[in-house]
């Protein structure tokens, strides 16, 4: 029971990682490696525009949803083991 849930979690993580890697290749994230090694030494500073920190952006909502789903997936084995042990009522 426990192994199956962890195998599914690892499989989902690997699939998400592969999807991110394929996206990075398709959008050209790795196309200019010689420029990338000198970016930390660059004097060219791009300042971010002023944003209202009291407003939550869609990125924050996406991260909250991902965190909630991850927490649910990680807590599922604990809840199932408590239920199967007879502590669930």
**The two three-digit tokens of residue 31, written as one number:** 């196309």
Rounded to 5 degrees, φ, ψ at 36 are -65, -35
Q: What pLDDT shows up at residue 86?
A: 78
Tens digit of pLDDT at every position of the chain (89 positions)? 668 888 888 999 999 999 999 999 999 888 887 877 777 777 776 766 666 667 778 888 999 999 999 999 999 988 888 888 876 55
Q: How far apart are the C-alpha atoms of 17 and 21, rounded to whole Å?
A: 6
Tokens of 2: 């426990």
pTM for this prediction: 0.43
Q: What is the pLDDT of residue 29?
A: 83
């Amino acid at each position: 029971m426990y192994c199956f849930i962890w195998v599914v979690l690892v499989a989902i993580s690997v699939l998400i990682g592969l999807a991110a890697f394929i996206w990075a290749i398709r959008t050209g994230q790795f196309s200019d490696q010689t420029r990338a090694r000198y970016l930390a030494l660059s004097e060219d500073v791009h300042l971010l525009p002023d944003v209202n920190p009291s407003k939550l952006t869609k990125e924050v909502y996406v991260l909250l949803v991902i965190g909630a789903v991850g927490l649910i997936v990680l807590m599922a084995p604990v809840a199932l083991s408590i239920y199967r042990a007879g502590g669930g009522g």
